[in-house]
Amino acid sequence: MPRGNPSPKLAITIDPLVHEGVLIAAAHDGLSVSAWMSMAASEALHRRAGLAAVAEWEEEHGHFTTEEMDAARRKILAQLGATRNDRLPV
């Protein structure tokens, strides 16, 4: 019987091109496929939580203005050290 809190196993089926991309990305990052998939899933869950928090805030306070969104994009680009020609998706 395993000790501690063993990680659950998950069997998934994915598109062949996604599979190839995962193998390449995991190797590039020096991670096992399991570790890379766990990291990717964790990042996706964090994004969902962030989007839910924004939706909740907007429900209470109203939608962000175009000016507020533009200011946020500029701040993110500055933090990323992006060039003037880089653009974030709208």
Distance separating the N- and C-terminal Cα atoms of the chain: 51
How far apart CA 8 and CA 71 sit, in angstroms, is: 42
Domain of residue 40, residue span? 16-62
How far apart CA 24 and CA 3 sit, in angstroms, is: 33
**Residue 7 has what pLDDT?**
87
Q: Using DSSP, state whether 86 is helix, strand or coil.
A: coil
| Structural domain contains residue 72 | no
Counting the structural domains of the chain, the total is: 1
| Structural domain contains residue 38 | yes
**Residue 82 has what pLDDT?**
63
Model pTM score: 0.70
Q: What's the average pLDDT block by block, 10 residues per block, for the chain (90 residues)? A: 79 96 97 96 97 96 95 91 61
